[in-house]
Chain A
């Protein structure tokens, strides 16, 4: 097959490559990315608009520089690029050193990808979601605004979006994990558990924490918000050897072990 120079040089749609292997979660991420990709032409127009406004403003024509347009530039860039991280997970375009990887057999390549996604990237993502969640909540409580008086107010919206973007990245990772396991014909619960073990443990820990936190909050409304982390149900700390550890962490580890045991017993043989 020979291609003309134009055909080879033409950009292709990254979301369409390998489309037949995508599952519905993959398509959700791609679809969302396809919508948010339009932010780039919009960003271009915002920047050009600002340049014209300012330079005409200097000549005394029009309203001049708009601080909110400056803020809007990095709002758009931030949202679109965080979405891009998720998009690049689904299209498998995160940069890697491929001198050895290219020569590995396909199933070994998939195992490396599974490890990178489930054991390294997904735990980071869950952790980021958790910490940015608190960050966003405190921003909402303070109704945080822009640093410049005419800027884009309601900075808390952007912080919530940053928090949401980690959910999208997490979804993209999960979708690709499932896709890779399917290609390896190992899409039973036990394999999923093994390939995402740190993420599962972390998720159980987080879920437990929030359940207990809200249980305390709803049943003991007189307790101060800050005190819940210390005095809520099962929230205390205790000492084991050199560690100060939380009950929740140990319970979560035990739950993870039980879940693993159940999935192992039920795995297809």
Chain B
């Protein structure tokens, strides 16, 4: 009680409890408790704690510390099913989630990437850094046709890393290129991360897809420019093989032929949205069918492949939805404790300038990205930030056609920032997948050094998107303006 009284001088009990809730969550998380279970566990523990301890003894607490009643009783649990049903099951947007996962897994099976690799490797073979360029180009094309990164990084690593090692590429630059190229998949539409953001922030998925296109391509272009310059400055890190064939028209034709099928898929997904033939959700179904047809065309399709892709989709969609269920319940309990207002006050109190507030949130996301992955950040942090961002006076052009233009811009900024969360150790999905397929001789130290320049490029890309909001909002305004 004496301790509480001392704390009461600077915090309310609600603020203290919100800190304790997050603290408990982080402890459980770092013990290795799965995210979904840590979320529901913490929510249940503090639900019970308020029920049997905080609320009944509120009078005693109020003598020493400011305290708003939590107001929990078992009857309140009755709203849980309608929240679960209404927010998660009855959600037309989230239908796109399993479909984009299916599409990505199927595309990786189709052999499209292997074909591109073979033909581009020949064409760019004579250039300094030709293999890195090949990886980046394939990464960008794959990114525009799938929405998951795990399989893309694995695939690029398995295809390109042995070839790069055989050509004596420096290990950091080789691994850095692959990790960052594969990670683009979650930014360049279609992307399951944008699907989830659209659901959490209640903004149009079409706007998000179109808004993410330029920022994603800018990031890809930055990588390419970097590799070209790097090849000129330090050619010994990306040596040219001794026996290169001269570039011929046949090679160019080969590359074009290998690029046409994935282009067809991009056209099918993004084009159908752009032309208004399908909603973004429906585009996911079209994309899944397109990827399946490509697998058929390349002779890789079999019932076994379809079966295993479906089962892997079930697995991936399952663990993402598990976090959805859990985060929903967690957010509910956090709100009972007044966690929304606590976070809001904390962030709004720091800066006056609305742009500084956005920058501050992005810094938080960047730092959290070292420890957490995009799923946790988009599901737990984003909903808390939404009311703050909505309340800011930001000058984001909406061209009279986009609803919530500043939320769209904010979502894209976070999406670009989250690119770093895949690459930053100790917890980065891309690092994890790449480590799994590294040939002997490549270790984590090489990967860690390799990602540094790419993380800096991502931050540069973030700065560009931050400074030029029209990069985000112009395309969606054109797509839906007519």
Specify which chain A residues have a CB less than 8 angstroms from the CB of B284 in the assembled complex. 47
B34 pairs with A94, CB closer than 8 A: yes
Once A87-B314, A88-B319 are accepted as A-B contacts, the answer to whether A120 and B33 lie under 8 Å apart by CB is: yes
List A contacts of B90 (CB < 8 A): 74, 78
A228 at the interface (CB under 8 A from B): no
Asked if A77 and B94 make an inter-chain contact with CB atoms under 8 angstroms apart, the answer reads: yes
Contacts A33-B314, A95-B323 given; does A112 touch B33 at CB 8 Å: yes
C-alpha gap A78/B318 in the complex (Å)? 10
Q: Does A250 have its Cβ within 8 Å of any Cβ on chain B?
A: no
Contact A97 B30, beta carbon cutoff 8 Å = yes
- Chain A 206-250 interface mask (CB, 8 Å, partner B; 1/0): 000000000000000000000000000000000001110000000
Known: A100-B30, A120-B37. A11 touches B312 (CB 8 A): yes
Question: Chain A residues with Cβ under 8 A from B78's Cβ?
Answer: 131, 134
Are A93 and B319 closer than 8 Å at their CB atoms?
yes
Q: Mark B140-165, 1 if CB is under 8 A from A, else 0.
A: 00000000000100110011001000
Q: A81–B102 Cα gap in the complex (Å)?
A: 13
Number of B positions contacting A (CB below 8 A): 85
Contacting residues of chain A (85-105) with chain B, CB-CB under 8 angstroms: 85-89, 91, 93-101, 104
One of B229-237, B274-282, B451-459, B463-471 at the interface: B274-282
Is residue B105 contacting chain A, with contact meaning CB distance below 8 A?
A: yes
Contacts of B371 in A (CB 8 A): 97
Bound: A130/B105 CA distance, A: 36
Interface residues in B75-124 (C-beta closer than 8 Å to A): 77-78, 80-82, 84-85, 88-92, 94-95, 97-99, 102, 105, 108-109, 114
Tell me the minimal C-beta distance from B36 to chain A in angstroms.
5
The binding surface of chain A is classed by DSSP as helix
- Contacting residue for A9 out of B36, B77, B154, B162, CB 8 A: B154
Q: Is the CB of B285 within 8 A of A43?
A: yes
Decide if B345 is an interface residue (CB 8 Å cutoff): no
Does A200 belong to the interface (CB within 8 Å)? no
Instruction: Tell me if B37 and A116 are in contact (CB < 8 A).
Output: yes
With a CB–CB cut-off of 8 A, which chain B residues contact A87? 314-315, 318
| In the complex, chain A residues whose CB is within 8 Å of the CB of B312 | 11-14
> Quick check: which of A48-56, A178-186, A254-262 contacts chain B, the rest being far away?
A48-56
Establish whether residues B286 and A48, one from each chain, have CB atoms under 8 Å apart when the complex forms: yes
**Across the two chains, which residue of chain B brings its CB closest to A84?**
B318
A91 to B315, CA, bound (A): 8
Q: With an 8 A cutoff between CB atoms, is A73 at the interface?
A: yes
**Interface: B38 (CB within 8 A):** yes
Nearest B-chain residue to A241, judged by Cβ: B56
Given A47-B99, A97-B427, A158-B89; A13-B30 close (CB under 8 Å) = no
Chain B residues with CB under 8 Å of A95's CB are: 34-36, 319, 323, 373, 375
Measured between beta carbons, the chain B residues less than 8 angstroms from A99 are: 30, 426-427
Q: Are B155 and A124 in contact (CB under 8 A)?
A: no
Stretch at the interface among B173-181, B201-209, B301-309, B411-419: B301-309
Q: Assuming the A-B contacts A84-B319, A124-B44, are A109 and B32 also in contact, with contact meaning beta carbons closer than 8 angstroms in the complex?
A: yes
List residues of chain A with CB within 8 A of the CB of B375: 95
In the complex, what's the smallest C-beta–C-beta distance from B378 to chain A, in angstroms?
Answer: 13
The closest CB in chain A to the CB of B437 belongs to: A8
Question: Which of A5, A11, A15 gathers most chain B CB within 10 Å?
Answer: A11
Say how far B226's CB is from chain A's closest CB, in angstroms.
26
- The reply on B322 being an interface residue by CB < 8 A is yes
Contact check: which of A8, A44, A73 meets B92 at CB < 8 Å? A73
Digit string of B315-328 for contact with A (CB within 8 Å is 1, else 0)?
A: 11111011101100
| Inter-subunit contact A5/B32 (CB<8 Å) | no
The yes or no answer to B194 lying at the interface (CB within 8 A) is no
Provide the bound-state CA to CA distance between A33 and B308, in Å: 12
A43 to B284, CA, bound (A): 10
| One of A18-26, A34-42, A187-195 contacting the partner | A34-42
Contact A74 B95 (CB under 8 A): yes
Q: Which residues of A contact B281 (CB under 8 A)?
A: 47, 73
CB distance from B286 to the nearest CB of A (A): 6
Within the complex, the shortest CB–CB distance from A60 to chain B, in Å, comes to 16
Contact B98 A5 (CB under 8 A): no
Per-position binary interface string of chain B over residues 28-47, scored 1 when its CB falls under 8 Å from any chain A CB and 0 otherwise: 11111111111011011000
Contacts of B323 in A (CB 8 A): 95
Q: In the complex, which of the residues B37, B52, B308, B437 contacts A243, with contact meaning CB atoms closer than 8 Å?
A: B52
* Min C-beta distance of B270 to chain A, whole Å: 15
In the bound assembly, the distance between CA atoms of A101 and B154 in angstroms comes to 23
Q: Is there contact, CB below 8 Å, between B321 and A104?
A: no
A37 touches B310 (CB 8 A): yes
Q: Which residue of chain B is the closest to A8 with respect to CB atoms?
A: B158
B449 at the interface (CB under 8 A from A): no
* A43-B98 in contact (CB<8A): yes
A115's contact among B33, B92, B99, by CB below 8 Å, is which?
B33
Contact check, B285 vs A51: say whether CB atoms are below 8 A apart: yes
Those of B311-350 within 8 Å (CB) of chain A: 311-319, 321-323, 325-326, 329
- List 14 additional contacts besides A120-B37, A243-B52; criterion CB under 8 Å: A5-B114, A8-B158, A9-B108, A14-B315, A40-B99, A43-B285, A47-B288, A48-B286, A48-B289, A84-B315, A85-B322, A93-B319, A124-B43, A159-B85
The residues of A with any CB-CB pair to B shorter than 8 Å are 5-6, 8-15, 33-34, 36-38, 40-41, 43-48, 50-51, 55, 70, 73-74, 77-78, 80-89, 91, 93-101, 104, 109, 112, 115-117, 119-121, 123-124, 127-128, 131-132, 134-135, 158-159, 162, 241-243
10 nearest CB pairs, A to B: A84-B318, A47-B285, A101-B32, A120-B41, A242-B56, A78-B89, A135-B81, A94-B34, A88-B318, A37-B310
Can you give 27 A-B contacts (C-beta < 8 A)?
Answer: A5-B114, A9-B109, A11-B109, A37-B307, A38-B310, A40-B102, A44-B285, A45-B289, A47-B95, A47-B286, A51-B277, A55-B277, A70-B92, A74-B92, A74-B95, A85-B325, A88-B318, A88-B322, A95-B323, A95-B375, A97-B29, A99-B426, A112-B32, A116-B34, A124-B329, A128-B81, A134-B78
